[in-house]
Amino acid sequence: MKILTLNCWSTSIHFRLFRRDDFALLALGNVERVGLGDSYLVYIQPGRQKRSIYLDYCDHQDALSLILSELANSSHGVVEHIGEIAAVGHRVAHGGENFCNSSVIDEQTFTTIRDLQQLAPMHNTHNSAGIEAARRLLPDIPHIAVFDTAFHQTMPEQAFVYPLPYEWYQQYAVRRYGFHGHAHLYLSRRAAALLGKPHGQCNLVTIYLDRGVSICAIRNGVSIDTSMGLTPLEGAVMDTRCGDIDAGIISFEMNRGNLSAREMDGILNQKSGIFGIIGKRIGRRALIQAALDGDERCALALKIESYRLKKYIGSYCAATGPLDGVVFSHGSGSEDWYMRQLALEGLEVFGLQLDREKNRKLPFCDRETDLSAPESSTRIFVIPSDEQLAFAEDVASILARGSVDHASHAYTFSHPDFVPKVCTEASDRCHP
């Protein structure tokens, strides 16, 4: 039997198909430009040539129907019939305070996910559309919600309550939730395995790098603080998001420019961050090269980005206590070497000594790498994140036992002899 995992966003669906018994990756890919026209599917079987299919238009249901037809295609599919799929794991960005672990999607759960759209309108709305489409196309199997926020429900009150009128929290659930939960779960479990320690005895700072960026403080294996908040806007500098700013700027600019709340939200989420500083979209390699070649705006953007990361690492060292390691996800692999160097400069006081030469020469990071200098008392890792494997294992646990507790579950990737099988051919990482 097989497990299908889905990441459904506004204009894309990313999928993986796993074998249930050993979590072997059978197929993966993505449908892009969902609902926009000129849509296309990228379909990959590891070890075989990638296929691309172009469409005039597709919505979420059309896209998922195409994925299922490719998986069961008689010439290049990986299942004889769709009935081999035992369950579907759906990534859901926001679970509020309602869900501390992954959960079967019954009518009550689905209603709650839709009600939480007010906390994550740019994410839960489209997650819900994917769930609806999948339940129509695959009505006879379990559908499991895997919540980004669940991993961070171990945070103490002092970390998640904002210093705002307390009734906002009581009545409207305004608090820090955090995101990228299963990515931080995977990174922390793999780091513990590389350290040779039980995950429940590890203190770590994990850094997830993609279009969205988040940092997590992990004490004794669980999240005690994280940089993203009520929404994915808070925290680090990102590609197009501002991260932490003075809240007074929002009313100042709304009044000055006569901006609506929607317009202001669009600026903070889509026209800020690296994009806002340099005024254009640019790839990581081009950004770093331009900075090294003397482009002052690109250099400033990298300094701001890395300085914000440095401050989070330092503050989370204080929050976790004696630190075992700092873990960077792969991000853009070798293209992130300069950011890592800048972010770790000056943190020798915390025992963090980067092997600069090894960091600079790191190839595209499709493997786990220890970048610590020999004299470093705290380890520095780069680990490719495989959160969709964590999704699949949650689904399998719920199918077998009816529930899963991420704090105590024996994930396969927690084992010291686990061999990562991260596929870098498709862009299917998480991205609130």
* 8: phi then psi, degrees, rounded to nearest 5: -110, 120
Spatial strand order of the sheet with 222-226 comes to: 222-226, 213-219, 204-209, 325-329, 379-383, 369-370
> Beta strand pairing status for 85-92 and 51-55?
unpaired
Distance CA 257, CA 249 (A): 12
What number of other Cβ atoms are within 10 A of residue 163's Cβ?
A: 5
- Number of residues that this document lists for the chain: 432
Q: Could you list the beta-strand ranges (E) of 358-415.
A: 369-370, 379-383
Characterise 148 by phi-psi region: left (phi > 0), alpha (psi -120 to 50), beta (else): alpha
> Beta strand pairing status for 379-383 and 325-329?
parallel
Distance CA 224, CA 79 (A): 41
Distance CA 387, CA 399 (A): 19
Catalytic annotation on 148? yes
Q: Tell me which of 59, 148, 210, 370 is the catalytic residue.
A: 148
Helices (H) and strands (E) in the chain, counts: 14, 14
Residue (of 309, 356, 350) closest to 337 by Cα position: 356
Task: For CA atoms 368, 374, 376, 378, give the dihedral sign.
Answer: positive
Residue 32: which H helix or E strand, with range?
strand 25-32
Burial 195-208 (b: 16+ CB within 10 A, else e): beeebeebbbbbbb
Q: Is residue 41 within 8 Å of residue 34, measured between CB atoms?
A: no
Give residue for tokens 């403080």: 217
Residue 41: which H helix or E strand, with range?
strand 39-44
Catalytic residues: 148
